[in-house]
A = this chain, B = another copy of it.
Amino acid sequence: MSNDETVLKQKMKEINGYEEALGLIQWDLRTKIPTEGAAYRSDVVGLLSEKIYSLKTSDELKEVIDNVQISTEDPILKQSAKELDREYLKYTKIPSEDYKAFVTLQSQSESIWQQAKETSDFSLLKPYLEDLIAYNRKFARIWGYDNHPYDALLNQYEPGLTTEILDPIFDRLKQALKDLLKRTQKSEVEVDTEMLLHHFPKEDQRAFGELVLEKMGYNFNAGRLDETIHPFAIGINPKDVRVTTRFVENDFRVGLFGTIHEGGHALYEQNFDEDLYETVLKSGASMGVHESQSLFWENMIGRSHAFWESHFDQFRKVAPAAFQTIEFDAFYKAINEVKSSYIRIEADELTYCLHIILRYELEKDLINHDLEVKDLPEAWNEKMHTLLGITPSNDAEGVLQDIHWAAGEFGYFPTYALGYMYAAQLHVAMQRDLDVESIVRMGDFEPIKAWLTEHVHRHGKMKEPLKLIEEISNETFNPDYLINYLTSKYTHLYDC
């Protein structure tokens, strides 16, 4: 091994060490830390983040990265160097005064957003949003792009994706989902969700959730399940991948589907190839691919007819008396209800992508000077009406609902819809190798997990997202799989 390769490995080990400490701190901040302890802990987050930043932006590392990219014959080291180079350029191209000012602005803006949302007062956030968008435009200019400045932002979260690829995909998806939504709305099928809203003790919900996680192949010896307010999964190291969930005692759907969703993320993090453990590649290929794993398990498995055929009896064994009289068909419909609603994170799988497309179109216009921040709430409400047929009664349930923009994140939202589309495309590819429906109906998901590990999980960040999807499915990224899946499921369910 060359000296450069040795130094690269040693630097990655150090970066990973700090990131592992930070990972544990993040988990603790969101699950266990006593209220008064959090303020002090944020200084530690600052210290460790600063260490990682200095390592990743050092001239010493850059030289090593450049040498290794040219000279190494080890594909993992080559890809690691490429990934580190991407980050090096991302951080170092921006003048450090701008970076610091942006970080400060982000944290001020996030706290103002809390206040703006509580009082439904967009004017509080407006000046911050203007500045954050100006910085994003500036960063896009510095990072560079071919056609649209938004491409540079998109590229942060989904390497290789551009508006040129995404525009026609989202247009096609939008039209199909709008049509499908209208058909379900005209349907005479009645869906009653009231029957789901009985008291269900947390500990019993947890028992069923753990059972499902185990069946998915989640390794509890390399993970654990805890409660939190905003559920997440986190790979602290490849043998310590934790799931968190939120149990709502009068609506078990929140905890159960949340657990399965985060379990999908966790399976990804638990199944990287061991060769990647000591590199910067032990992470998902992209935000979108990561989301494809959680959504595949949550929706295509967890909300499927076949899943409940194998699990409805076990569910009823754990559930309280009030659930014992529910009919299977009524239950299956209830957990798949379609309904236009204001809040993205509460949306069903049919309308969800419309919430994302709304944000995508507004983001592009904002970045491209085609929309001014002062006109944003109105533009939001208009689009909401066009896409979902409803108009928010205030900005708290409209433009102020998400933290992302207040945190200065533009280009992030599309990855959620990509996750849906990737999941559907992978689902069909999987069906070529496996009789997925029969497997799910039997209730043993091992072959499904093994397939995902073989094709997705184990590669970590070795491949770019669009290339990975293409290789697995033998086809370029295509929204029709999601459209077909949703059309088939919901025309059947709503008899429309």
Chain A contact residues, CB within 8 Å of chain B = 13-14, 17-18, 20-21, 24-25, 28, 32-37, 39-41, 43-44, 47-48, 219-224, 236-240, 242, 277
CA distance A277 to B38 in the complex (A): 15
**Which residue in B17, B39, B47, B239 is a CB contact (below 8 Å) of A36?**
B239
Query: For the complex, would chain A's binding face be called helix, strand, loop or mixed by DSSP majority?
Result: helix
In the bound complex, residues from chain B placing their C-beta under 8 Å from that of A28 are 24, 28
In the bound complex, residues from chain B placing their C-beta under 8 Å from that of A41 are 20, 237, 240
Given contacts A18-B47, A24-B24, A44-B20, contact A34 B237 (CB under 8 A): no
**Which residue in B20, B219, B221 is a CB contact (below 8 Å) of A40?**
B20
- The 7 A-B pairs at the shortest CB distance, nearest first, are namely A37-B240, A17-B47, A36-B239, A40-B237, A36-B222, A37-B239, A21-B21
In the bound complex, residues from chain B placing their C-beta under 8 Å from that of A13 are 43
CA distance A13 to B42 in the complex (A): 13
In the bound complex, residues from chain B placing their C-beta under 8 Å from that of A34 are 220-224, 239-240, 242
**Which residue in B36, B43, B242, B277 is a CB contact (below 8 Å) of A219?**
B36
In the bound complex, residues from chain B placing their C-beta under 8 Å from that of A43 are 13, 17
Chain B: which residue is nearest A22 at the CB level? B21
Given contacts A37-B237, A37-B239, contact A44 B21 (CB under 8 A): yes
- Give the most central of A13, A14, A24: most B CB within 10 Å: A24
- Give the most central of A13, A21, A33, A35: most B CB within 10 Å: A21
Chain B: which residue is nearest A29 at the CB level? B24
CA distance A222 to B25 in the complex (A): 16
Q: Chain B nearest CB: distance from A207 CB in Å?
A: 16
- Beyond known contacts A17-B44, A36-B219, A37-B236: 16 more, CB 8 A cutoff: A13-B43, A14-B47, A17-B48, A20-B40, A21-B21, A21-B25, A28-B28, A32-B32, A32-B224, A34-B222, A34-B224, A34-B239, A37-B240, A39-B239, A40-B239, A41-B240
Q: Chain B nearest CB: distance from A354 CB in Å?
A: 39
CA distance A271 to B325 in the complex (A): 56
CA distance A9 to B12 in the complex (A): 30
CA distance A222 to B39 in the complex (A): 11
CA distance A418 to B20 in the complex (A): 39
- Assess whether B14 is in contact with A240, with CB atoms less than 8 Å apart: no
- Give the most central of A39, A220, A239: most B CB within 10 Å: A239
CA distance A36 to B34 in the complex (A): 26
In the bound complex, residues from chain B placing their C-beta under 8 Å from that of A277 are 40
- Assess whether B224 is in contact with A40, with CB atoms less than 8 Å apart: no
Chain B: which residue is nearest A236 at the CB level? B37
Q: Chain B nearest CB: distance from A233 CB in Å?
A: 13
